[in-house]
Chains A and B, each alone.
Chain A
Amino acid sequence: MGIQRMRWLTVLLAVALVLGLLAGCAPKKPAEPAKPAEPQQPAQPQQPQGLSGSIQIAGSTSVQPLSEELAKAFMTKNPGVTINVAGGGSGAGIKAAQNGTADIGASSRALKPEEKGTVVEHQIAIDGIAVVVHPSNKVDGLTLAQVKDIFTGKITNWKQVGGKDAPITVFRREDGSGTLGAFTELVLGEGAKITDKALQQNSNGAMRTAVAGDPNAIGFLSFGYLNNEVKAVKIEGVEANVDNVKAGKYKLSRPFLYLTQKQPEGVVKAYIDFVLSPEGQQIVGKEYITVK
């Protein structure tokens, strides 16, 4: 009897396992089409806690961590709302907003002329990109042209830009990274390419560690990742700080955009309003530059 029962258990277990695994093979349900946010009950239009619904955000992986923070805060305030934040890249974010596969598309670059007008833009933050070197490096400032020559491999020794006689170690981000994209666009321009020999790091954190450890290194970072392990050089004589970015003096900066297919309404509007509110911008200000 005991053995019999054991056997049954084994069979049940095996069957359960098989079914479980097969369930994993079932085709995923197509992503829910972006629901138009439910119109608010006219009876209580002022009460944000009455909000319910879900928001799908997709796009730039640079914006993703910020979106997650903002979404968390918004969901705490509005328990009825679910916000899903996915990556995919700025290009995917813009496309998602254009054809409405996501309620909000996120982009970490300005829209190209041909993309303007196809979606509604909401700038939620500004990200500055700092060119960083080892703290012991004597070089305090570079011109945009010098930065370009260093990264394209024309300048290979620190003495060519006023530093000590030592070879420059160039660090870059991987192809497709938003920070690399912004850097390429803002510094290199069309047609130029970063030297083939540049070492590649796959995150801002890895980049910072690499530059902090090598006295001859140069790299670039999102402002949010600056700390005293590395030194940000002045660009065209302008110090890399928030005030200079806001004043438009510091050249290496890029917008963080939320994009919607049409003017947002309902729960999406409530969320974007929250992001632009003092409370939301306070979250933005922790790592990025606020827009208000």
Chain B
Amino acid sequence: MRRAVFERGSEVALFLAALIAVVIIVLIGTFILIEGLPAFERTGLLNFLLGHEWRPLQGVFGIFPMIVGSIAVTAVALAVGVPLGLATAIFLAEIAPPRAERLVRPAVELLAGIPSVVYGLFGMTMLVPIIRALAQTWLGASLDPQFRAGYSVLAAGLVLGIMILPTIINIAEDVLRAQPLEYKEGSLALGATHWQTIACVLLPAARPGIVAAIVLAMGRAIGETMAVIMVAGNTPVLPQSLFSPVRTLTSNIALEMPYAGPGAHSQALYATGVVLFGLTMVVNLAALLVSRRRVKRG
């Protein structure tokens, strides 16, 4: 009897603990929606989403450049991070001798632990000058003179590409290791080389998991703020090229929130948050769908 009460009690307590996450998500969602709604009403949803001009002090709020900015920066980050991360994951799961593994694994873990501000500093003092030199010596004539400063889509994308490596490596490696040994044995027994086995058997089998890793990395890239602010130039205009400065949705909020007076400006920033929240939710739902499919197949 006592035992049953106990069981029930612990279950309820654990359920409540788990419920908190849901409650917090709902609270955050409702909160930013309530704060941001007036901005949508004032500017009009379409004008707000598709407007090209952001001049908060004149009451002009269009976040299209920031939406494009977030997507552009994330795309560059994935272009850099996915091949590199996947290659590392394959190396760790399949090829690495124990000694190499002892070197690489702690490095990857460290990469995950570095605060984003430090990534930003690295980008600002190392990447930006290199990109600036590139832009000014080789591409000078083809670029808008104002956009040769190195603060760019490319700089932000590179920094983010490095930042998402741990996510991709860790998940992809786990997925590769979780593949049934029979796949590998069968392939090798049929005379395939190790590389053929990786490329034609393991990777296809692990694809849903790898896609999930990529989608999670995408979420991380969209959400990163500090490192991006420090290297992106933050100009709220549509980026024209890899070398254009860019402002992302997250930067837009973080840049201006500390100073935004109450009223239209801060409401517009909350509304930016709503859009970001929506975007993140889409990405996470995608991840969920992909991983569901994996479960079904397995």
Contacts and interface: CB of A to CB of B under 8 A. Distances in A.
Interface of A: 4, 7-8, 10-11, 14-15, 17-18, 21-22, 25, 61, 87, 89, 91-92, 156-157, 167-171, 174-178, 193, 195-202, 206, 209-210, 213-214, 216-217
B12 to A, nearest CB: 9
Contact of A214 (B132, B262, B265): B132
B234 interface: yes
B145 A209 contact: no
Given A167-B145, A175-B256, A200-B247, A213 B13 contact: no
B235 interface: yes
A213 B132 contact: yes
A199 B259 contact: no
A11 B9 contact: yes
Contacts of B236: 196, 200
Contacts of B29: none
A175 B20 contact: no
Interface residues of B, number: 45
A14 B234 CA distance: 44
A206 B227 CA distance: 12
A176 B13 contact: no
B283 interface: no
Given A25-B27, A193-B55, A199-B149, 7 more contacts: A156-B145, A156-B146, A195-B146, A198-B235, A200-B255, A213-B128, A213-B129
Contacts of B235: 196-200
Contacts of A11: 6, 9-10, 13
- The majority secondary structure among interface residues of chain A is mixed
Contacts of A89: 258-261
B17 interface: yes
A217 B149 contact: yes
Interface of B: 6, 9-10, 13-14, 16-17, 20, 23, 27, 55-58, 124-125, 128-129, 132, 144-151, 229-230, 233-237, 245, 247, 254-256, 258-262, 265
Q: Which of A11, A170, A175, A217 has the most CB of B within 10 A?
A: A175
B145 A201 contact: no
Given A18-B17, A200-B235, A200-B247, A169 B148 contact: yes
A174 B257 CA distance: 10
Given A175-B56, A177-B259, A209-B124, A7 B6 contact: yes
Q: Which 8 pairs across A and B sit closest by C-beta, in order of nearness?
A: A176-B259, A167-B145, A200-B234, A14-B13, A197-B146, A199-B233, A174-B255, A11-B10
A89 B144 CA distance: 34
B272 to A, nearest CB: 13
